[in-house]
Amino acid sequence: MSLTESILEGNRLALARLLTQVENDSLEGRTALAELFLHTGGAHLIGVTGAPGTGKSSLVNQLALYYRRNEDKKIAIIAVDPSSPFTGGAVLGDRVRMRDLSGDNGIFIRSMASRGAVGGLARTTASIAQVFDAAGFDIIIIETVGAGQSEVDVARLAHTTIVVEAPGLGDDIQAIKAGILEIADILVINKADRPGVENTERALRSTLELAHPTKRVFRHHGQAMSASTNMNSDATMWIPPINKTVATEGKGIPELAESIARHEAHLRQSGDWAARDRARLGSELEAVLREALIGRFLESVPQKTYEEIVEKVMNRNISPYEAVKFLLNGI
Ligand SMILES: Nc1nc2c(ncn2[C@@H]2O[C@H](COP(=O)(O)OP(=O)(O)O)[C@@H](O)[C@H]2O)c(=O)[nH]1
Ligand SMILES: [Mg+2]
């Protein structure tokens, strides 16, 4: 039986093996991915992002438990953590997961060190999500630390993006500064057992009001979406709800699951589900095409010629634009 067949049949060992291949961007991984892609499109991708220590891992753990207990769904968790595995939060979160979720075949957890991603963080994460999707996982939760552009790129993969805040991180909300609020479909104030919840909620609400409504209608995940699917009725407008949770005690988790379900229903009814799929796959196609074209082009240029041109650019004899003109039009 081929690797692809084993994975389609739900073999966890084969799945784990392929995930490693995909992380290493190996030929075997690429081949299997190409076959598996035809079986994707069934999963709901949920991104969970926010500053370190806000309780993302704890929250993801609780959500997965909730789904396993209340719905007949298979859950995959992809934890993308750029920090060293020895810093507090990630390890604690992972330990919580291990204890509560181990031994359940309906759950698969994959941790990914961003440094290890050969083909780039966002792309590797996308590929890993595709493997889970093809393997029949209904919900794929991707946890990222909301710190930079690569995290925003990862969030862009998701159908539903949850931004996690916690009270007491300072008067300014970290995510607002980082522009992360813009990508939120659902806001969570976790650690609602801590003081300062009202202040955090007030700050989030006023920021949301500023952003609402026109901006969110026409821009989603930083990409302009076709206005036609969104313009006609108020029913298609999504206003990010604010959920309060205490992840350590499982409080607020059913309500959060409810927000997620409402968002999925909204995406499907408004046509945004298909629009996001199209935008995401379109840019993936474009990235692959770009890489292939550059590869093909470089094969046609003698190494020596190429290096001479790089040298000329370095010596400020010509600009990069002129260099490209040279290269494309022959010399
Ligand atoms: N008081 C309180 N602590 C929490 C809550 N959720 C998580 N924590 C704790 O916050 C720390 C960081 O949690 P973790 O899930 O690893 O955060 P992450 O870095 O965002 O993934 C851990 O010590 C958790 O036990 C909560 O709702 N209330
Ligand atoms: Mg974590």
How do residues 128-181 score in pLDDT, each as one tens digit? 999 999 999 999 999 988 666 666 777 778 999 999 999 976 555 555 555 667
77 pocket-lining for ligand 1 (C-beta < 6 Å): no
State in Å: Cα 50 to ligand 2 middle.
9
Please report which confidence band the pLDDT of residue 237 belongs to, taking 50, 70 and 90 as the band edges: confident
pLDDT tens digit sequence for 50-60 = 888 899 999 99
Other C-beta atoms lying within 10 Å of the C-beta of residue 71: 12
Out of 14-23, 164-173, 235-244, 259-268, pick the least confident.
Answer: 164-173
Asked if pLDDT for residue 208 goes beyond 90, the answer is no
pTM (predicted TM-score): 0.83
State in Å: Cα 214 to ligand 1 middle.
34
Q: Could you tell me if 15 and 107 are in contact, meaning their C-beta atoms sit under 8 angstroms apart?
A: no
pLDDT over 90 percentage in the chain: 53
CA–CA separation, 157 and 45 (whole Å): 7
pLDDT over 70 percentage in the chain: 77
State in Å: Cα 22 to ligand 2 middle.
22
CA–CA separation, 324 and 328 (whole Å): 6
CA–CA separation, 34 and 243 (whole Å): 38
pLDDT of residue 98: 54
Which ligand neighbours the alpha carbon of 81 most closely? 2
CA–CA separation, 222 and 156 (whole Å): 8
Q: Could you tell me if 180 and 146 are in contact, meaning their C-beta atoms sit under 8 angstroms apart?
A: yes
Q: Helical H runs in 102-164?
A: 121-134, 149-156
Ligand 1 atom at minimal distance to the Cα of residue 164: 20
The DSSP secondary-structure symbol of 251 reads B
pLDDT of residue 173: 56
Structure-block tokens of residue 265: 């229903």
Asked if pLDDT for residue 325 goes beyond 80, the answer is yes
Tell which wins on pLDDT, 259 or 121.
259
Ligand 1 atom at minimal distance to the Cα of residue 247: 27
The residue contributing the CA closest to ligand 1 atom 1 is 191
56 pocket-lining for ligand 1 (C-beta < 6 Å): yes
Average pLDDT over residues 207-214: 65
Ligand 1 atom at minimal distance to the Cα of residue 251: 27
58 pocket-lining for ligand 1 (C-beta < 6 Å): yes
Asked if pLDDT for residue 7 goes beyond 80, the answer is yes
3-state DSSP: the chain helix, strand, coil percent, rounded to 5? 60, 15, 30
pLDDT tens digit sequence for 80-128 = 865 544 333 444 445 555 556 667 789 999 988 655 555 677 888 899 9
Out of 97-101, 226-230, 240-244, 318-322, pick the least confident.
Answer: 226-230
CA torsion, ordered 156, 161, 163, 164, to nearest 10 deg: -130
Cis peptide before 240 (omega within 30 of 0): no
Summary mean pLDDT of the chain: 83
Q: How far is CA 134 from the centre of its chain?
A: 17
Asked if pLDDT for residue 283 goes beyond 90, the answer is no
pLDDT of residue 218: 44
108, β-bridge pairs:
76
State in Å: Cα 96 to ligand 1 middle.
10
